[in-house]
Amino acid sequence: MLTVPLGKQHLNRNGFVHGGVFMSLLDSASGLCGTWCPVPGNVRKCITVSMNTHFMKPAQDGVIRVEAQLVSRGRKMFFVEARITRDDQLISTGAGTFRYVFGGENEEGVPSVSA
């Protein structure tokens, strides 16, 4: 779960939060949901294969909440559903398909490479 305070920088020229902001948050939360790693110092990585989004309500300000839940997982791919709410109102939803990369399919992950 992630909370994000909305500001002017998120608005499109119509004065509402741009759909791309919501899509990016849904995608990021979904990928992180499917690549959680229990081993300190290790990481799991993925790429987005597809992402389907729906926008229910526009937003201009306030604080939004982004949540993602793993639906199913295979050896190489996983599936997540995510949602964005504000004040208990549904703003946007997303459903994504993701592919593990660079050892991400290993539940223990791989050592993180620091730059």
pLDDT by position in tens, the chain (length 115):
888 888 899 989 999 999 999 999 999 999 999 999 999 999 999 999 999 999 999 998 999 999 999 999 999 999 999 999 999 999 999 999 999 999 899 999 999 876 4
Residue 45, by phi and psi: left (phi above 0), alpha (psi -120 to 50) or beta? Answer: beta
Q: Which domains does the chain have, with CATH numbers?
A: 2-111 (3.10.129.10)
**Cβ-contact 94, 81 below 8 angstroms:** yes
Q: State in Å, rounded, how far the first CA of the chain is from the last one.
A: 27
Q: Which residue do the tokens 């499917």 mark?
A: 34
Whole-number pLDDT of residue 114:
63
Taking the C-alpha atoms of residue 97 and residue 22, their distance in angstroms, rounded to an integer, is: 17
Read off φ and ψ for residue 88, nearest 5 degrees. 65, 15
